Structure 1
C-alpha cells in the first residue's frame, strides 16, 4: 500500500510526484513512462519515489482518480447559475463545466481511456465517476418531475444513464477522437437534446436567443446538484 506522508514536507513531495507523473504520462503515455523520468520531473531521487508509491501503476491510479474528480466537481459553475431557479440554465452551466474540464484534461484523459481497457482499478475509478454523475443527474431529474417540469413518465435511472453517457461520449469524440465541433455550439446542442429528452418544454426560460421565434422554443443539457 502506498505510504501516506505524515509531514507537510512529505505531503508536498507526494503532490509533486503526482503532478510530475501526470506530466510524464501525458507526454510519453503510460507504457513508455519511466519512474526515473517521473522522479526527475518532480526533482526527487529515483529511490524517493518508492517512499510514496509502490509502482508506476499505483501512481497512475492516483493521477486518474484526481483527474476524474476534477471532471465532475463543477467547481467553475457561477453561484447564480448553480442556484438559478431556471433548470435550463443549470443544465447549460453543467454541460459547459464538464466539456471545459474535459478539454483541459484531454491529454491525460486519452491515456486514462487507454489504460482503463486493461487495468481494473483504473476502470473502477471511471465507473465511480459515472455513478456519482448518474446519481446527481437522477436526483435533479426527480426534482424537475416533482416540480411538474419534466415528463413524469421518464424513468429517472434510465434517463440519467443515457443522457450522462451521451455527454461523456460526446466529450471523448470531441477532445480525444478529434471530431470537429465548436465548444459553444456543442454546449447549446447538448443542452437542447437533454432538455427535450426530459420533456422540459414549459415553465422554463434560458432558450437560445436565435430559437425565440420558433413556435415551440427548445431549451438546453447537463446537471449539477
Structure 2
C-alpha cells in the first residue's frame, strides 16, 4: 500500500459543492445511478490500496469494470470522486445520529441514545479506518474538502443541539451548558480519539472499554445520568 505521508493538495475543483455534485449524479436512470455508485465503491477500494497520489483514474475505471472514458461521464477528476468517497464515508459515520437522535425511538433514554451513537460511530470508524486515514491526510492539504466536511458535519450538529435543548427542557441535561459549544467539543473529542485509536494505532484498548469511557465522558459533559452504569464505577 502506498504511503499517504507526502500527499500534496489536490487541484481545486470549481463548484464541487454544487455543479460537481450535479454531474456526479450522472443520468437519472436506475442504471446510471448504479454505475455511479459502482465507480464510487471502486474508487474507495483503490484509494485504500494506493493512497491518493498513486491512485489512477484508469485503475478506478478498471476496478469498476468500465472504460477509462466512461469515468468522465460521471466525474470530472480524481479529486472530485475522492470527495464523493469522503462524503459517502461521512454518511456512514453520521448514520447513528439519524437512526438514534433524529429519527430514533422515543422510548430510548438520552443516556441509552448516546451509548448507541458512540458504539456505532466507533465501530464504523474502526471498520473504515484505512480510507479514513487517507481522507484525514488529504483534508490537511485540501481546503475545499475540509470546508465541505465541516459544513456537512455542522448541519448535523445544529440538529443535535436542538435535541440537547429538548433534554434540557425536560430536565435531563445540565441547563447551564451551551449545546452548540458542548457538541462541537464532544465531536472533536470523539473524532480525534477514534483517529488516534484506529488510524494511527497509538492505543491498544479493548473495544468495549474504549466505548464505555467515551460514553461516560459524554454523559458527564451533559450531566446525564446513566441507569446502566454503577454509580460507584463498578
TM range (shorter): 0.7 to 0.9
What number of residue pairs does the alignment pair up?
A: 209
Cα displacement string for residues 169-222 of structure 1 (whole angstroms, at most 9, x for unaligned residues): 111111111022222111111111111122224xxx4332xx35x2xx69xxxx
Unaligned stretches of 5+ residues in structure 1: 219-225
From 215, 226, 230, give the equivalent of 1:191: 215
Q: Which residue of 2 aligns with 1:57?
A: 79
Q: Given the superposition, is the C-alpha separation of residues 101 and 83 from structure 1 closer, same or farther in structure 2, using an over 3 Å criterion?
A: farther
The answer for the alignment partner of 1:221 in structure 2 is none
Of the three residues 128, 143, 155, the one matched with 1:120 is 143
CA RMSD across the alignment: 2.3
TM-score normalised by L of structure 1: 0.84
Inter-partner Cα distance in structure 2 for 1:62 and 1:85: 33
- 2:45 pairs with one of 10, 17, 23: 23
Aligned to 2:9: none
- 1: CA distance, partners of 2:209 / 2:42: 34
Does the CA contact (< 8 Å) of 1:69 and 1:129 recur in 2? no
Q: How does 1:121-136 map to 2 (within 5 A)?
A: 121-136=144-159
The secondary structure found in structure 1 opposite 2:43 is: helix
> When the two structures are superposed, what TM-score results if normalisation uses the length of structure 2?
0.81
Structure 2 gaps of 5+ residues are 1-19
Spell out the pairing of 1:2-151 with structure 2 (5 A cutoff): 2=23, 4-74=26-96, 82-151=105-174
Query: How far apart in 2 are the matches of 1:57 and 1:15?
Result: 16
